[in-house]
Amino acid sequence: MNVQTNAVPAGFIALPFKGDEHFLSLTGPLYAKRDGEKLVLGFRVEQRHCNIGGICHGGMLMTFADMQLGLGARFDSEEDIGFMPTVSMTADFLAPAPLGAWVEGRTDLLRSTRNFLFCQCIVTSNGSPAMRASGIMKSGGAPSNLKGLPNLRTLLK
Amino acid sequence: MNVQTNAVPAGFIALPFKGDEHFLSLTGPLYAKRDGEKLVLGFRVEQRHCNIGGICHGGMLMTFADMQLGLGARFDSEEDIGFMPTVSMTADFLAPAPLGAWVEGRTDLLRSTRNFLFCQCIVTSNGSPAMRASGIMKSGGAPSNLKGLPNLRTLLK
Q: B143: nearest CA in chain A?
A: A53
C-beta atoms of A66 and B62 within 8 A: yes
Q: A22: nearest CA in chain B?
A: B48
C-beta atoms of A62 and B67 within 8 A: no
Residue predicted with more confidence, B71 or B141: B71
C-beta atoms of A26 and B26 within 8 A: yes
Q: What is the mean pLDDT of residues B106-116?
A: 93
C-beta atoms of B62 and A60 within 8 A: no
pLDDT in tens, A47-73: 999 998 889 999 999 999 999 999 999
Residue A122 has pLDDT above 90, yes or no: yes
Residue A87 has pLDDT above 70, yes or no: yes
Q: How far apart are the first and last CA of chain A?
A: 37
Among A27, A52, A149, whose Cβ lies nearest the Cβ of B83? Answer: A52
| Dist CA A72 CA B62 (whole Å) | 19
Band of pLDDT at residue A141, cut at 50, 70 and 90: low
| Dist CA A157 CA A85 (whole Å) | 25
pLDDT of A52 reads 87
Q: Are B8 and B42 in contact (CB under 8 A)?
A: yes
Q: What is the mean pLDDT of residues A145-150?
A: 58
Residue predicted with more confidence, B56 or B5: B56
Q: What is the mean pLDDT of residues B97-114?
A: 95
Compute the nearest-CA separation of B44 from chain A (Å).
Answer: 14
Q: What is the mean pLDDT of residues B59-64?
A: 98
Q: What is the average pLDDT score of chain B?
A: 88
Smallest CA-to-CA distance from B53 within A94, A109, A32, A141 is with A141
Q: What is the mean pLDDT of residues B31-36?
A: 94
pLDDT of B2 reads 45
Compute the nearest-CA separation of B139 from chain A (Å).
Answer: 14
User: H helices within A28-143, ranges in order?
Assistant: 58-76
B87 lies within 8 A of chain A by CB: yes
C-beta atoms of B24 and A62 within 8 A: no
Hey, which bits of B10-156 come out as E strands?
Answer: 13-14, 31-35, 38-44, 86-93, 102-112, 116-125, 128-138
pTM reported for the whole predicted model: 0.92
The set of residues, in sequence order, having a beta carbon less than 8 Å from that of A141 and lying 6+ positions away, is: A115
The set of residues, in sequence order, having a beta carbon less than 8 Å from that of B114 and lying 6+ positions away, is: B139, B140
Residue B105 has pLDDT above 80, yes or no: yes
pLDDT of A2 reads 45
pLDDT in tens, B123-135: 999 999 999 999 9
